[in-house]
Amino acid sequence: MTPFHLAFPTTDLAATRSYLEGVLGFAVGRTAARWVDFDIAGHQVTAHLVDSAADLPTNPVDGRAVPAFHFGLVMDWDDWQALADRLEQAGTDFRIEPTIRFREQPGEQGTFFINIPGGAVMEFKTFRDMAKLFATQ
């Protein structure tokens, strides 16, 4: 897969870097006074310092208020569960706690959302069958 690039705003670049690097374990690439590149599963994700961040709009999904802007990572089922367990044990305040959606249906998936210091939101998800990543039924 060709790596993609994604940039997101943060109001606290140091706290964002500390969390993504120290808690989630993402490697840091190039940096400057107002941005930091991260290696997230081989993709270039850049945090850009902004002076303020507006409230994130949300959309209702399965009765939850999912932030309209978020980014994340699709992981192997066991790795996703291990990360969810590690973050729960660390006392993470989940934006949306780990849950399984579409149980025993095509596209069965685990998902959780976390707030990143500085205002961004990340989703981590997994699929029981990765071949069903884009399943419509």
| Domains of the chain, residue spans | 1-50, 58-137
Q: Which run of H or of E encompasses 113? A: strand 109-115
pLDDT above 80: residue 6: yes
The two three-digit tokens of residue 38, written as one number = 């991260």
Checking if the pLDDT of 132 tops 90, the result is no
- CATH of span 58-137: 3.10.180.10
The CATH number of the structural domain formed by 1-50 is: 3.10.180.10
Overall average pLDDT of the 41-62 stretch: 88
Residue 137 in this model has a pLDDT that exceeds 70: no
* Burial of 127: CB neighbours in 10 Å, binned 0-12, 13-18, 19+: buried
Q: Which two tokens stand for residue 104?
A: 């025993």
Q: Which H or E run contains 67?
A: strand 64-67
Question: Beta strands of 11-55 (E only): which ranges?
Answer: 27-32, 35-40, 43-49
Decide if 1-50 and 58-137 have a common fold. yes
What is the rounded distance in angstroms from the CA atom of residue 135 to the CA atom of residue 133?
Answer: 6
**Could you tell me where the DSSP H helices lie in 50-105?**
77-89
Instruction: Record the pTM.
Output: 0.90
Confidence of residue 81 (pLDDT cuts 50, 70, 90): very high
Q: Is the dihedral of CA 32, 36, 39, 45 positive or negative?
A: negative
The average confidence (pLDDT) of the chain is 93
Largest CA distance in the chain: 48
Whether residue 36 is predicted with pLDDT greater than 70 in this model: the reply is yes
